[in-house]
């Protein structure tokens, strides 16, 4: 495993339309954690420049990285005096909490049923999952290996944009891409941020959306997304779209108190995404 650690100012952004919305974070900390991750190799921990500035330096042994302000952590000399327990107890003091398990760091908040809140939260959950929840089906039924078509949309900003300008660009892209993908029976699964842009991961062939010609639908959606981004989103430097088909594990992953529905990418699909990201000009693969 490799680890990149960053710290700094973040902007929390909600993008999308009235049907589907996505929560993303942008800012210096996101940029630097990508830098740290890129410098990490197997079994290493890399601190970004800002994270290292905020650390108790005399308590951490590090190795400098040539031509970089980021550093590699060797070991911690002594146990930090910072009390994690007190910090956890101070979080959300205005909300009543339940301790779910001894092993669980995150506490569960007890909130009164609120129909408006539930309606809002449904916008952040894929329709595939909502159908199972509404039908009161076990989440285990969502997990399966199935053939699917994946569309990666990679957008790079021109550079020099403010956080507000980036937010507007991502919001505009999320609405346009979402409409194109849903129009062709697909779903936007994730929005990834990186130092100079963002990537949309879209899935075709999920339960309830399966079509005999899903690859053709995905290609039509990819072309529509590519055309949209080039013509209507002026603040982008480049946009590239990758399309591939293969076996994908679709299901619920994560800790029992914080589930996430995702498609775990097969090696062939991952290679496709890497190929797509290698192109520096507007491209459709």
pLDDT value at 96 more than 70: no
The answer to whether residues 157 and 265 belong to one domain is yes
Residue 140: predicted pLDDT: 78
DSSP designation for 70:
-
Q: Is the pLDDT of residue 94 over 60?
A: no
CATH code of residue 158: 3.30.70.1230
Same domain? For 276 and 167 the reply is yes
86 phi and psi angles, rounded to 5 deg:
-65, -35
Q: Is the pLDDT of residue 252 over 60?
A: yes
Are residues 273 and 159 part of one domain?
yes
Residues 112 and 163 in one domain: no
Say what percent of the chain tops pLDDT 90. 29
Report which listed range, 58-72, 85-99, 129-143, 235-249, is most confident. 58-72
Structural domains of the chain, count = 3
Q: Which domain holds residue 8?
A: 2-76
Q: Say whether both 259 and 223 belong to one domain.
A: yes
The model scores a pTM over 0.85? no
Say if CB 187 and CB 127 are below 8 A apart: yes
**Do 136 and 264 share a domain, yes or no?**
yes
Q: Are 47 and 68 in contact (CB under 8 A)?
A: no
Mean pLDDT of all residues in 150-174: 88
Residues 50 and 91 in one domain: no
> In terms of domains, do 90 and 16 share one?
no
**Which of 76, 95, 110 lies at the terminal end of a domain, its last residue?**
76
- Shared-domain flag, residues 41 and 68: yes
Whether 182 and 225 map to the same domain: the answer is yes
H/E segment holding residue 195 = none
Can you give the pLDDT at residue 187?
A: 92
- Examine the domain organization and report whether 187 and 217 are in the same domain: yes
Q: Are residues 98 and 221 in the same domain?
A: no
Side-chain-facing half-sphere of 243: CA atoms under 13 Å: 19
Q: How confident is the model at residue 228 (pLDDT cuts 50, 70, 90)?
A: very high
Tell which residue, 119, 148, 127, 139, has the closest CA to residue 245. 148
């Amino acid at each position: 495993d490799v680890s990149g650690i960053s710290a700094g100012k973040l902007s929390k952004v909600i993008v999308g339309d009235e049907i589907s919305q996505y929560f993303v974070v942008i800012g210096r900390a996101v940029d630097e954690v990508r830098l740290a991750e890129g410098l990490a190799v197997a079994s290493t921990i890399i601190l970004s420049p800002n994270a290292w500035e905020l650390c108790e330096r005399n308590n951490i042994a590090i190795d400098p990285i040539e031509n970089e302000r980021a550093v590699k952590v060797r070991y911690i000399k002594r146990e930090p005096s910072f009390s994690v327990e007190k910090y956890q107890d101070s979080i959300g003091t205005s909300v009543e909490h339940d301790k779910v398990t001894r092993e669980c760091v995150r506490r569960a908040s007890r909130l009164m049923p609120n129909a408006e809140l539930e309606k809002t939260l449904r916008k952040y959950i894929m329709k595939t999952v909502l159908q199972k929840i509404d039908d009161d089906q076990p989440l285990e039924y969502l997990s399966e290996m199935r053939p699917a078509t994946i569309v990666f949309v990679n957008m790079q900003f021109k550079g020099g944009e403010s956080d507000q300008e980036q937010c507007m660009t991502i919001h505009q892209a999320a609405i346009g891409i979402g409409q194109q993908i849903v129009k062709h029976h697909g779903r936007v699964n994730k929005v990834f941020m990186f130092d100079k842009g963002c990537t949309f991961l879209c899935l075709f062939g999920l339960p309830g959306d399966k079509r005999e010609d899903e690859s053709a639908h995905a290609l039509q959606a990819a072309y529509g997304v590519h055309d949209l981004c080039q013509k209507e989103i002026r603040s982008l430097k480049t946009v590239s779209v990758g399309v591939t088909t293969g076996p994908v594990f679709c299901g619920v992953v994560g800790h029992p108190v914080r589930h996430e529905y995702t498609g775990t990418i097969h090696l062939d699909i991952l290679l496709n995404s890497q190929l797509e990201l290698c192109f520096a000009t507007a491209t459709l693969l």
